[in-house]
Amino acid sequence: MDVEGIGPNGILNLIMQTQCKFINSRSGERCNAFALESGFCFSHDPETRKEKAEAVSKGGFAPKKIKLNLSPVKITTTDDVVNVLEEIINLVRDGNLPCSNPANTIGFLCSHILKAIELSKLEQKVSIIEDIISERKNI
C-alpha cells in the first residue's frame, strides 16, 4: 500500500514514529528526528540530499530582518500602549508589517489592547476614588 509516495514502511514509521538511525560521529549522539521510510530523517537520508540542499538554500534567501521606518514612541500611560498596539495592528492589517500569521498576530495584540483598556479604566476609577477621599479629608 503506497500512500502518496509513502511506502508501507513509511506508514509504519509514521505510526510508530521511529527515531532516525543517524549517529553523530563526533558526539556519538543519535539524531532525535523521526525517521522516514529509509530509517533516516529528511536531513540525514542519503536519498533526500538534493531536496535538503534546496530547502537549506531557500531558507538562506528568506528575509532575516525587516527594517521599519517607524518613529520612536514614548510609552508612559496605558493609553500610549493602546495607541502603539493599535498602530501595529493596522500595519499588519494593511500588509505593511509582514508577519507569518496575521490573524494570530492581530488576535494576540487585541488581547493585550483589551488588558490595557481594562487597566486604563481601573486607573480612572482609582483616580476618582483618590479624589473623593482627598475631598472628604478636607471637610
Q: Check if the beta carbon of residue 22 is closer than 8 Å to that of residue 30.
A: yes
Q: How many CA atoms lie within 13 A of 97 on its CB side?
A: 17
Q: Which pLDDT belongs to residue 107? A: 93
Q: Which helix or strand (DSSP H or E) is residue 53 part of?
A: helix 49-60
HSE value, Cβ hemisphere, 13 Å, CA-based, for 22: 17
Alpha carbons 131 and 127: distance in angstroms, whole number: 6
Per-residue pLDDT at 99: 84
Name the phi and psi angles at 130, rounded to 5: -65, -40
Those residues whose C-beta lies under 8 Å from the C-beta of residue 99, and which sit 6 or more positions away, are 92, 105
Please state the domain extents for the chain: 8-60, 78-138
pLDDT tens, position by position, for the chain (139 residues)? 444 555 555 555 455 568 888 888 899 999 988 888 888 898 899 998 898 888 887 776 666 677 778 889 899 988 899 999 999 999 999 988 888 889 999 999 999 999 988 988 998 999 999 999 999 988 7
pTM above 0.85, yes or no: no
**CB-neighbour burial class of residue 13 (10 A; exposed 0-12, middle 13-18, buried 19+):** buried
pLDDT of 7 reads 56
| DSSP symbol at 31 | P
